[in-house]
């Protein structure tokens, strides 16, 4: 395993780093405010984000996540991971490069499983224009950690699917054009063959956005929405992939997505680490700089160890997925999902502690980074579910 980037990847990383420093970080706070205030039905991105996206597209820093060279740059997953780490330094950056969740995962499965007609209608706008999508799976009445219990239904009535169900945490609904809904189409089938994915245009009659679910006090922007599907009718051709293939497609979507999340978490942790070290050097208390205090030195050393350890584990998981496939890398992907999320929380928490009361305020990005990072311990599978899977695979080796 050699994780030294090629000249091409190194150049892309430098360009992304410079783009974020020169164009994203100076307007980060304004862009976040515009996302909260101006995203609305029919408005996927506010003007400042559109300007950043146009600039990034013109500079060739666009759709870098796609592994195929027909639509993307053809990077290996571990190579894109190095770029994704840079994007993780700001919550705005992935949007600027058209590499933000849930659109990346949705575009990947549309590219892999979509029909030519589906790709023309929904994938092309997502790849080429300022369009967004959302992913609608989680339900308030069933356990999101066990999607075999999904209750939302789609029944075939002639040449239409009729969808009924109650969803929430449909991330990115506000301002999106289409939802990919995971619903039960074959209730009597085996547990992992019951569900399918269906493309639902947001303006379809019967699809209602009930509310943005407040997440740690935040309920604006694209949001995590509660939705009602009440006799929502879409053409039978809106089925994504095969009938009953919802779980298989979801797993195909989650493998690369977890790599992306973990590498962005590492980039965010690096930024928190940098802020912590600068604060420790600059802030004086009890007769000297915080950097001279042993507790702070422990924070710095422990954080450096944890960040670098997580990076190597994530790159190894991505490398294994590139060389042996997603299924062969399941154990490594589960392990990084737990490790990177918990590492990010710990580093951000230490950085906030070194900043004192300032770290609890929104005058630095640390509180926002901590809140968004806390979500990662639930999204794409809770830590505990991944630990169960890790343990079972390990125990089976010695059974």
8 A C-beta contact, residue 354 and residue 280: yes
pLDDT (tens, 9 = 90+) of the chain, 399 residues, equals 899 999 999 999 999 999 999 999 999 999 999 999 999 999 999 999 999 999 999 999 999 998 766 777 889 999 999 999 999 999 999 999 999 999 999 999 999 999 999 999 999 999 999 999 999 999 999 988 888 999 999 999 999 999 999 999 999 999 999 999 999 999 999 999 999 999 999 999 999 999 999 999 999 999 999 999 999 999 999 999 999 999 999 988 888 888 999 999 999 999 999 999 999 999 999 999 999 999 999 999 999 999 999 999 999 999 999 999 989 999 999 999 999 999 999 999 999 999 999 999 999 999 999 999 999 999 888 999 999 999 999 999 999
Query: Phi and psi of 100, rounded to 5°?
Result: -100, 155
The predicted pLDDT at position 293 comes to 97
Q: Tokens in use for 174?
A: 């506000």
In terms of C-beta density within 10 A (0-12 exposed, 13-18 middle, 19 or more buried), how is residue 176 classed? buried
For residue 73, what are the CA distances in angstroms to 117, 125, 200?
Answer: 23, 18, 29
Beta strands of the chain (E only): which ranges?
133-136, 153-157, 160-171, 178-184, 195-201, 207-212, 224-235, 239-240, 284-285, 288-289
Question: pTM higher than 0.75 for the full model?
Answer: yes
Query: Phi and psi of 317, rounded to 5°?
Result: -60, -40
In 3D space, the residue among 198, 241, 200 whose CA is nearest the CA of residue 109 turns out to be: 241
For residue 44, what are the CA distances in angstroms to 3, 48, 50, 133, 173?
Answer: 36, 12, 9, 9, 10
> What CA–CA distance (Å, rounded) separates 257 from 105?
6
DSSP string, 312-329: HHHHHHHHHHHHH-TTTT
The predicted pLDDT at position 66 comes to 84
The predicted pLDDT at position 69 comes to 62
> What CA–CA distance (Å, rounded) separates 208 from 174?
11
The predicted pLDDT at position 255 comes to 81
Total residues found in the chain within this entry = 399
> What CA–CA distance (Å, rounded) separates 226 from 228?
7
Domains of the chain: 7-100 (1.10.540.10), 133-242 (2.40.110.10), 247-396 (1.20.140.10)
DSSP string, 42-108: TBSS-HHHHHHHHHHHHTT-SSTT--STTTS----HHHHHHHHHHHTT-SSHHHHTT--TTHHHHHH
Q: Tokens in use for 256?
A: 């690369």
* H-run or E-run covering 281: helix 246-282
The predicted pLDDT at position 144 comes to 84
In 3D space, the residue among 143, 91, 84 whose CA is nearest the CA of residue 378 turns out to be: 143
Decide the pairing of beta strands 133-136 and 178-184.
Answer: parallel
Contacts 24+ apart (CB under 8 A), 31-35: 31/92, 32/91, 32/92, 32/368, 35/92, 35/220, 35/221, 35/222
């Amino acid at each position: 395993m050699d994780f030294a980037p090629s000249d091409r990847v190194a150049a892309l990383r430098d360009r992304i780093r410079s783009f974020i420093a020169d164009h994203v970080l100076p307007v980060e706070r304004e862009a976040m405010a515009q996302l909260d205030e101006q995203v609305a039905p029919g408005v996927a991105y506010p003007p400042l984000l559109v300007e950043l996206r146009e600039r990034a597209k013109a500079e060739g820093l666009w759709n870098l996540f796609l592994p195929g060279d027909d639509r993307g740059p053809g990077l290996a997953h571990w190579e894109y991971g190095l770029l994704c780490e840079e994007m993780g330094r700001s919550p705005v950056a992935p949007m600027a490069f058209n590499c933000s969740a849930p659109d990346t995962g949705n575009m990947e499965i549309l590219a892999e499983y979509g029909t030519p007609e589906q790709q023309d209608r929904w994938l092309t706008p997502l790849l080429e224009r300022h369009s967004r999508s959302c992913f609608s799976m989680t339900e308030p009445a069933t356990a999101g950690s066990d999607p075999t219990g999904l209750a939302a239904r789609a029944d075939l009535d002639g040449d239409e699917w009729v969808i009924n169900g109650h969803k929430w945490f449909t991330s990115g609904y506000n301002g999106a054009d289409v939802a990919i809904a995971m619903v039960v189409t074959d209730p009597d089938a085996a547990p992992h063959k019951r569900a399918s994915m269906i493309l639902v245009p947001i303006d379809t009659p019967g699809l209602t956005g009930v509310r943005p679910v407040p997440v740690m006090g935040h309920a604006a922007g694209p949001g995590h929405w509660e939705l009602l599907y009440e006799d929502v009718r879409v053409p039978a051709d809106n089925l994504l992939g095969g009938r009953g293939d919802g779980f298989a497609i979801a797993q195909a979507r989650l493998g690369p997505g977890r790599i992306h999340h973990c590498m962005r978490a590492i980039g965010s942790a690096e930024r928190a680490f940098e802020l912590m070290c600068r604060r420790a050097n600059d802030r004086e208390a009890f007769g000297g700089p915080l950097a001279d205090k042993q507790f702070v030195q422990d924070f710095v050393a422990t954080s450096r160890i944890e960040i670098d350890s997580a990076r190597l584990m994530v790159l190894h998981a991505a490398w294994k997925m590139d060389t042996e496939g997603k299924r062969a890398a399941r154990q490594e992907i589960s392990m990084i999902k737990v490790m990177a999320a918990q590492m990010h929380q710990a580093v951000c928490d230490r950085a906030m502690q070194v900043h004192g009361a300032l770290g609890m305020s929104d005058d630095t990005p640390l509180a926002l980074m901590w809140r968004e990072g806390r979500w990662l311990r639930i999204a794409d599978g809770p830590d505990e579910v991944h630990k169960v899977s890790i343990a079972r695979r390990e125990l089976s080796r010695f059974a």
